[in-house]
Structure 1
Amino acid sequence: MNNTIADTYEIAMGRWSRRLSRSFLDFVAAPSCGAMIDVGCGTGSLTLAAANRYPDARIVGIDLIPDYLTDTLRQEAANIELKTGDASSLPFDDDSFDTACSQLLLNDLDDPAHVLGEMSRVTKPGGKIAASVWDRSGGLTFIRLFLDAAAILAGIEGEKLRQEVFDVPHKNEEDFYDLWADGGLQDIKTTTLAIRMDFIDFDDYWQSLMGAHSLIRAFFNRQHAELAHDIQHATRLAYLGGKTDGRRSLVASAMAVCGTVPA
């Protein structure tokens, strides 16, 4: 059976974004009633976590890719609504929500400031706007193991891949603070959230890695057999850390920011 795009994401990152969602919601501390929108909801990790935490709230998840918005997710909680739509042009009236959140999206957008403006537009005065993104260069160990091996063994092409994966608009909490401040938000706070990525063995790790980022997958698949073997072997040695194959728990960190829409 062929995996769907939602299946691929769940294997690669969905299990980790679910862990992140709980810590992210603790940080946001949104009101326990009203309406919340999850912008760029993907397979619904944050949407479902919010629906379970706030069972009396209306939780709306929106994503540009309809295949992420599965019937299974719709059936997980009675207060979930899912909609296909573009984060840069949210299909909602002004002041429609009490809280707007986005998890693992803003650093993959061409114009995050515009999307922040849309999130603010659909949120009521006094409402909260919050986002989180992976700290790719300093906080995703499981990707760094592969990228360092690729940079060493594949030369310029490997180094270019590492730079592309790490080259994101906002690299630290200060960048996100400035983005929120420039967007006119008040009472801004930032933090770094940490989770554990637990792998059964190297094969489990490798499967997650190959689904984690399209650039990584494309790079590896176009290498000739000998170089691809060497890169995978070097990554395996880094994963094993001098021990036999088996379970490993790697730290992953994300940056989060939250602010309030002015009254």
Structure 2
Amino acid sequence: MNMTIADTYEIAMGRWSRRLSRSFLDFVAAPSCGALVDVGCGTGSLTLAAATRYPNADIVGIDLMPDYLTDALRSSAPNVRFETGDASALPFADDSFDTSFSQLLLNDLDGPAGAVGEMVRVTRSNGRIAATVWDRVGGLTFIRLFLDVAALVAGTEGEELRARVFDVPYQNEDDLFDLWSDAGLEDVATTTLAVRMDFIDFDDYWQSLMGAHSLIRNFFANQPAEIAHEIQQATMRAYLGGKPDGRRSLVASALAVRGIVAA
């Protein structure tokens, strides 16, 4: 069976983004009714979590990649609709929503400030704007484990991979605070959220890793067979930690920010 983009994402990160959604919504503390938009909704983890938490709200999920928006997702909740669109040019009128939020998007955009500006534009006065991104440098243990091995085994090429994966605009709470403040938002607050990533065994870990980031997947696929084998074996030893193969639980952290649209 050929895997779709949505399938790959679900194996790699979907199960963890669903866990993150619950903690993120606690932090956002959006009103229980009104109109909400999930910008860069992907496979709908945050959108559907909001639909369950706020059954009386009207919720829109929007993503640039239509492959994420499957027929099953589109029909998954009565108070949700999904649209295809660009976070930097949202297809909504000014003041359309009471709350705008985004999960795991900003660090993958070329112009994050533009997307934040669009979220502000489509949100009413006194509405909430919030976002969360993985703490990629210090908080994604399962990726860091592999990248450190790659840097040791593959030398300069591995070190360059590690730098590229970690080279993101927002690496701490202060960076997100400044982004929100520069957008004119008030009562800005930040926090760090933590979830546990539970893997059944090393194979489960490896499948998730290879789907987590295209740079990682392409790097490993392009290694000579002997180097690829050495990297995988060294990563497995790090995962096992001297114990038999089996379940492991690794903590992942995410940075979150929220603010209020000025009256």
Which TM class, normalised by the smaller chain length? Answer: over 0.9
The structural deviation recorded for 1:228 is 0.1
Give the Cα separation in 2 of the matches to 1:71 and 1:173.
Answer: 36
Map 1:80-95 to 2 at 5 A. 80-95=80-95
Partner of 2:108: 108
Give the Cα separation in 1 of the matches to 2:133 and 2:170.
Answer: 9
Partner of 1:179: 179
Partner of 1:41: 41
Give the Cα separation in 1 of the matches to 2:195 and 2:225.
Answer: 34
The structural deviation recorded for 1:253 is 0.2
The structural deviation recorded for 1:86 is 0.4
Give the Cα separation in 1 of the matches to 2:254 and 2:114.
Answer: 22
The structural deviation recorded for 1:74 is 1.8
Extract unaligned runs of 5+ from structure 2: none
Identity of aligned residues (%): 76
The structural deviation recorded for 1:75 is 1.9
Q: Give CA-to-partner distance per residue, 1:152-204, whole Å, 9 cap, x none.
A: 00000000000000000011000000000000000000000000000000000
Q: Post-superposition, which runs of at least 4 consecutive aligned residues in structure 1 deviate over 6 A?
A: none
Residue 74, structure 1, aligned to residue 74, structure 2 = yes
Partner of 2:157: 157
Partner of 1:255: 255
Paired residue secondary structure (1:136): coil
Q: Specify the code of the residue in structure 1 equivalent to 2:97.
A: F
Partner of 1:142: 142
Partner of 1:211: 211
Extract unaligned runs of 5+ from structure 1: none
Using structure 2 for the length normalisation, give the TM-score: 1.00
Q: Specify the code of the residue in structure 2 equivalent to 1:113.
A: A
Paired residue secondary structure (2:252): strand
Paired residue secondary structure (2:56): coil
The structural deviation recorded for 1:124 is 0.2
Partner of 1:12: 12
Length, aligned pairs only: 263
Map 1:188-199 to 2 at 5 A. 188-199=188-199
Q: Specify the code of the residue in structure 2 equivalent to 1:40.
A: G
Using structure 1 for the length normalisation, give the TM-score: 1.00
Over the aligned positions, Cα root-mean-square deviation in angstroms equals 0.4
